[in-house]
Amino acid sequence: MLSNPLRVAVAGLGNVGVGVVKILEKHKELIADRAGREIVITTVCARNKNVDRGIDLSSYEWVDDATQLADMDNVDIVIELIGGEDGVALMSAKNTLNNSKSFVTANKAMIAHHGCELADMAQKNDVALRFEAAVAGGIPIIKAIGEGLAANELNLVYGIMNGTTNYMLSQMEARGLSYTDILAETEELGYLEADPALDLDGIDAAHKLAILSSVAFGTKTDFDNIHIEGIRNIETVDIEYAKELGYRIKLLGITKYEDGNLSQRVHPVMIDRNLPIAGVMDGFNAIVVDGDFIDRTFYQGRGAGEGPTASAVVADIIDIARGHKGPAFFKPTEKLVAANPVSINQRLGEYYIRLHVQDEAGVIADITASLTLANVSVKTMLQKGNERDGTVYVIMLTHDIRETAMKDALNRINELPSVIETPLSIRIEKL
């Protein structure tokens, strides 16, 4: 065992930061044995020193400005748990790496947008940049892809990458709650990000997908070309019809790479209820990876929370204590490829369509005419009325069609006078 300890500064003392302190204190001897050297916290940093965080921080030096941590003589490695795409977090990262000190973060937004730049800085300064905790919390998916599956050429990665929306969809199905009702409950439970749009609109999942694409395929992070949709338009009626048709609705991130072309998308999907990932409920995450020699691997676990995320952070610290400094994206930065983005408009597949229309003569004929004009072929149609208000839900499943044809059909249908609310479509994925 090395005699010199690894001296750690923790910037950000929210749930995850407190969790990191707890783990390093509780498992001090276990971690030292596994790391080959002692790991000690010397310094901590947060916005407010006077908050009761439920742990004793008196033995650590307090610093108010996270960007100063890398300049301190008693700090070998900075752990950033502040969050945010840029600002203090990004300044802290750059200062740390430029000072030839290793940097660990759980900040998915920052890595999704600036990961390649930071990886290049780490490489030039011969230090480590690690971000296992940025994706899927307690699932060690980055290590699994970059190390365990390193002998494979990977072509497809998909999964449930946001536990909050998975919880919401699960509860809507299990308890018959509306989106509005489950949203209010989720807010009360404190499951949503400070900016709820990050969860509800798929942005959080897209940050993680951008990172996984780069780790899996050796491409440069390209958040700007991810197609992103959230779950705001999903209602109980869609979940009920999905069940009747043999599907379950999930918010998935899907990335495919072939011949230099990269498809990245986050949106609700309908998938076969018998698939393993369809059975992943509540706040859990799950990732599926396809490779040429391993076929398909499946990873499931808690995607957020103090314990799982802090565990991933400490795992990165242990790696650095062992002397691991390899490339952040498992390839030298000069070999990361700028892939050609594939538009969602090129998607070919089946779709679920939900229409809410007046229950009157000629409506179905008008809908059918609109579909025909858009070259959309329907293989299944269901119709259920509401005698109280004289309206009906028309549910259709299409044959394989292009995304552009689907958009054309919905635009045409939306112009019909009998349509009460904007039509909804959900992509059916054969995974």
**Contact predicate 80/11, CB 8 Å:** yes
Distance separating alpha carbons of residues 111 and 208, to the nearest angstrom: 9
In sequence order, what DSSP letters do the residues of 146-210 get, joined into one string?
A: IIITTTS-EEEEEEE--HHHHHHHHHHHHH---HHHHHHHHHHHT-S-SSTHHHHTSHHHHHHHH
Distance (Å, whole) CA 268 – CA 165: 10
H helices present in 27-157, as ranges: 28-35, 87-98, 108-124, 141-143
The answer to whether residues 347 and 400 touch, using CB atoms and an 8 Å cutoff, is no
Angle among Cα 239, 244, 245 to the nearest 5 degrees reads: 95
Q: How far apart are CA 233 and CA 424, in angstroms?
A: 8
**Cβ count within 10 A of residue 279:** 12
Query: For residue 269, how far is the Cα from the chain centroid?
Result: 15
Q: What phi and psi values does residue 225 have, to the nearest 5 degrees?
A: -105, 20
Q: Rounded to whole angstroms, what are the CA distances from 419 to 104, 233, 260, 404?
A: 52, 16, 42, 21
The catalytically annotated residue of 143, 208, 220, 331 is 208
101 is catalytic: no
CA distance readout (Å), 353 to 363, 406, 409: 15, 9, 10
Residue 29 phi, psi (nearest 5)? -70, -45
d(CA 364, CA 357): 9
Bridge partners, residue 419, by sequence: 357
Alpha-carbon distances of 400 from 253, 256, 274, 427, 429, rounded to whole Å: 21, 19, 21, 10, 11
For 3-14, b/e burial (b = at least 16 CB within 10 A) is: eeebbbbbbbbe
DSSP class of residue 5 equals: P
**In the block, residue with structure tokens 């808690």:** 302
Q: Report whether 426 contacts 233 (CB < 8 A).
A: no
3-state secondary structure of 290: strand
Catalytic residues: 208
